[in-house]
Structure 1
């Protein structure tokens, strides 16, 4: 195991990890955050109450889009993850996938009720709204296919192939930080589209171009590591490999992997209860309740935000250092702290309460994502990364993105907070009670986590490497 402990990631591989994580985050955050605001701000901005009643509420449209996108993501990852193992070629799946991922993202700017009405020769307002929503959902599924092929199936497997257990907490930390930065970048640019300063066509088109260029760069930068080429050719059929992770013997043999995935699943479901509605919540609830952007930019609020950021970063760095020896304790702490943050968010729409809640939410989310992500990669058997990407997607994407938004939609419908659109119709918008439900769901992550901690949360390879040192 000394050889494994001395393995290092090259500067080139670090650059590839950061670049493709950032650009993948750009595409995913555009889809997960701004397709939702696009539906509310553009598609539902001027429709009548009759049209809404004849189709669906905006929050319901978002929930259905997220759920169907998740199903597409999992099916794609199952098929493409196993196929990338069979062909022993992550590079082409990543690069070509990113190219088309960006193209489809850019095409979203051309979707409008007028274009859909002309395309299908429609005149009835309810039908136009319904067809437009389902056209957006269909395009979202196509985009998800591209993203899941390149990022979830191939890129994640490539990262597993180029790293060893000792490096993975660091790699996951970098992936988490870069993913957060990409989220801020998208939010910064997207805020102009959300405010109407720039068009959604320009917003989606611009981001689509940079993602496509990243894919082109991958054709020249990415090289499959020796581990990928050394993947043993399975004697089983491709169809059999698709269902490899469902075999009872495989589940029993990799019990810790499945316990980690189940616990991770509850935490992500909790996040998905509110995440698809977050920007709409800020735009139509938080800003009005706090007197608009002008009041939020007061010195007292800015100072509070700076203090919160400093405390959060310090806490994350401290706990991540501790997590190298106390992963189990830090995972439990992460889930508890994350739950606490959700519960605080559910109590008020005050900007000060929201800023205070950011500390436990960001801290807990960082610990949960980084440590669970590292644990899952550690527990995947050597040479079978592609075979398990589909299983990972079931717990990390399918269940959370199907169940979470539905819970959030029910919470919003129950609270019945509305705005009046340009046509004078009432449109339901998100409410703070969705965070309460997120907190309730998050608590359930402690059950499988308890059994995982009892079995041990470190991989055997990681423990042996640590002992060598």
Structure 2
């Protein structure tokens, strides 16, 4: 079962599977965190452990299933079964709220076990989500990306997280509603992702150029990318990965806590929070369109530089000018909230353009015979390293900030404050350094006419 590049089949599944995956990731990255605060405990450590451990599981899963899909020369089954299991465990995650009848009533030891179960189910969900999306769908889309459609595919892959965030936050907030019914959201999303998996099993087709690639035993192939003659000899690829990791360290300091900041610090409801983020990101996503041509004309580094500056500007506004007394939580579209909308727009625009530019930059450097495995490299630098470092830094900031208070029951609650944006903005200086060297390598490669895919090779 094979499909052709740029066929209607390709674009339909690119959008459909991509949207289902991004919606599910949005729920995990945003609503799982507010779910913990609403149903389990207002403890940033639980959120941090969820993010860190799920990032570890995601990376391992991507390497494992990416290597397996390279060896058998197929992505379809990994996508289908991964999405089906992903949807099932999204629904299962919501059941954890019924185990928690109250932190005060159950005591500290029982609360620890509930937190452990929440983290465990989140990890299982991430394992299958990565199997279907990171190692399956991402490698499948890269198999069908050419020099002629690279800008368009890059635009779609940049749009998808934005659309996922917009729909996920707006629709998610409306589904949760004023009665905090998180299970309504988890059931709707889980069924949608399960449906996407079933349709993939029945109708998805692999690339006609995808062939099985075996490089020794499974373990030898699994570890090949980490050998001295693997990733670490690819200077440009390594610089791109380090740049992106440093950017997303900053991103993870604030993003995983942004929903709780808007709800518990600013005073917005879940539905209003979704609209604020959704509208800002919707407007920001329009910038993707002119960047399609720029990417196709080899202007990717310029887009990345501009994106980091734009993101930094948004974070500075959030850090210095947005306070509870400066916003109107009753009238969402009050003039008082214009600066908040603008800051979200800038931060979101920078994030979107980094995703668009860096995703396509790194993908064009993958070796043709190991695209599935190299999705693991992308997840390692785009997800694992930033999530571990960024969320740990964010947790330290929140734990030691003005938002950490002891409530009337003697329980410490950790409410994020604007300091998370201040530190995130300061750390955006660091990705500029490897980006400068990466830009030099990029234009050297373009000048030498060596931009064809598959030019990278991992020796046995």
Place the TM-score, normalised by the shorter chain, in its bin.
0.7 to 0.9
Check if 1:31 corresponds to 2:28. yes
Q: Which moved more, 1:77-86 or 1:424-433?
A: 424-433
| Equivalent pair of 2:24/2:189 in contact (CA under 8 Å) | yes
Q: Note if contact 1:166-1:462 (Cα within 8 Å) is conserved in structure 2.
A: no
Matched, 1:435 2:408: no
SS in 2 for 1:384: helix
Deviation string, structure 1 residues 323-355 (Cα, Å, up to 9, x no partner): 433222222121222222222221122433322
User: Do 2:259 and 2:273's aligned partners in 1 also have CA atoms closer than 8 Å?
Assistant: no
- 1:138-157, aligned counterparts within 5 Å? 138-157=120-139
Q: Could you tell me how far 1:400 is from its partner in structure 2?
A: 1.0
Residues 313-322 or 194-203, more deviating: 313-322
Determine the structure 1 residue equivalent to 2:300. 327
Aligned: 1:61 with 2:84: no
Give me the CA root mean square deviation.
3.0
Q: Does 1:226 align with 2:208?
A: yes
CA contact (8 A) 1:273 1:408 kept: yes
In structure 1, list runs of 5 or more residues that go unmatched.
Answer: 1-6, 45-56
- Between the aligned partners of 1:440 and 1:37, the Cα distance in structure 2 is 26
Q: Distance in 1 between matches of 2:61 and 2:281?
A: 37
Deviates more, 1:318-327 or 1:373-382: 318-327
Moved more, 454-463 or 136-145: 454-463
Aligned residue number for residue 341 of structure 1: 314
SS in 2 for 1:273: helix
Q: Which residue of 1 aligns with 2:458?
A: none
Looking at structure 2, the residues matched to 28 and 313 of structure 1 have their Cα atoms a distance apart, in angstroms, of: 18
- CA shift at 1:319, angstroms? 4.3
- Cα distance in 2 for partners of 1:311, 1:112 equals 35
Aligned with residue 364 of structure 1, among 326, 335, 350: 350
Q: Which runs of 5+ in 2 are unaligned?
A: 327-336, 454-460
- Relative to the length of structure 1, the TM-score reads 0.84
In the TM superposition, residue 314 of structure 1 has moved relative to its aligned partner by: 5.4
Q: Distance in 1 between matches of 2:9 and 2:38?
A: 41
| 2:109 is the alignment partner of 1:127 | yes
Cα deviation, 1:380-400, whole Å, max 9, x if unaligned, reads 011210121222111011111
Cα distance change, pair 319–91 in 1 and its aligned pair in 2 (3 A): closer
Which shifted more, 180-189 or 427-436? 180-189
Q: Distance in 1 between matches of 2:84 and 2:174?
A: 25
Q: Which structure 2 residues correspond to residues 412-431 of structure 1 after superposition, within 5 A?
A: 412-418=398-404, 423=409, 425-431=411-417
Instruction: Supply the distance in 1 between the matched residues of 2:343 and 2:318 (Cα, whole angstroms).
Output: 6
Query: 1:167 Cα deviation (Å)?
Result: 1.8
Match of 1:80 among 54, 65, 73: 65
TM-score between both structures, scaled by the size of structure 2 = 0.86
Say yes or no: does 1:213 pair with 2:198.
no
Taking the TM superposition and a 5 Å limit, the aligned residue runs for 1:1-400 are 8-44=5-41, 58-112=43-97, 114=99, 124-192=106-174, 194-197=176-179, 199-228=181-210, 230-234=211-215, 236-287=216-267, 312=284, 315-325=287-297, 326-349=299-322, 350=326, 351-400=337-386
Counterpart Cα distance in 2 of 1:212 and 1:200: 18
CA contact (8 A) 1:339 1:442 kept: yes
Which digits, 9 at most, give the CA deviation of each residue in 1:423-460, with x for residues without a partner?
57441111111011111222211111111111115667
Deviations 1:394-422 (A, max 9, x none): 10111111111111111112223157768
Could you tell me how far 1:38 is from its partner in structure 2?
Answer: 0.8
Residue 266 of structure 1: how far off its partner (Å): 0.9
TM-superposed deviation, 1:185: 1.5
